[in-house]
Amino acid sequence: MKNLIAICAGVLMTSPVIAAEPNWTGVWTGDYEWCRNADRIGSITPAPIRLTATQMQGYENSCKITSVRGNDEYAYYELATKCSAEGETYTAYNVLMMDGADILYIWYGAGEPVRFIRCGD
């Protein structure tokens, strides 16, 4: 029994710690009325976008997040993604900036950042 406890304790101590979800994950929209379509992201427009720790999903596009570089203290994150949209694949780099818990700006590399608000639960 002591050996089993020692083995379990060793496994737990060497297992990676699972980080909490990034603060920018969730369902985001430019118009709060679009939140009613959150369960149909990707198949209807207008609809919000969904950000998870591994994926960005919008209307007719989906991106796998391949790397994240950022700073929680300054609420600034650079995402590298591999995307597919309308039969095309491409690499994209986006900058995410949080303004409090419920406002997100995404800069797509040109023009002004786009402002999003978080959809409620």
**Residue range 67-85: average pLDDT?**
93
pLDDT at residue 19 is higher than 80 = no
pLDDT in tens, 83-100: 999 899 999 999 999 999
More confident residue, 55 or 8: 55
Give yes or no for residue 4 having a pLDDT over 50. Answer: no
Residue range 22-118 forms a domain whose CATH class is mainly beta
- First-to-final CA distance of the chain: 46
Beta-carbon contacts of 16 under 8 Å, excluding residues fewer than 6 positions away, are: none
Q: How confident is the model at residue 15 (pLDDT cuts 50, 70, 90)?
A: very low
Does the pLDDT value for residue 119 go beyond 60? Answer: yes
For 63, phi then psi, to 5°, come to -130, 135
The structural domains of the chain, with segments of one domain joined by +, span 22-118
Q: Which residues does 101 contact at the CB level (< 8 Å), separation at least 6?
A: 23, 118
16, 104 Cβ separation under 8 angstroms: no
What would the two tokens of residue 116 be?
């999003």
Amino acid letter for position 17: V
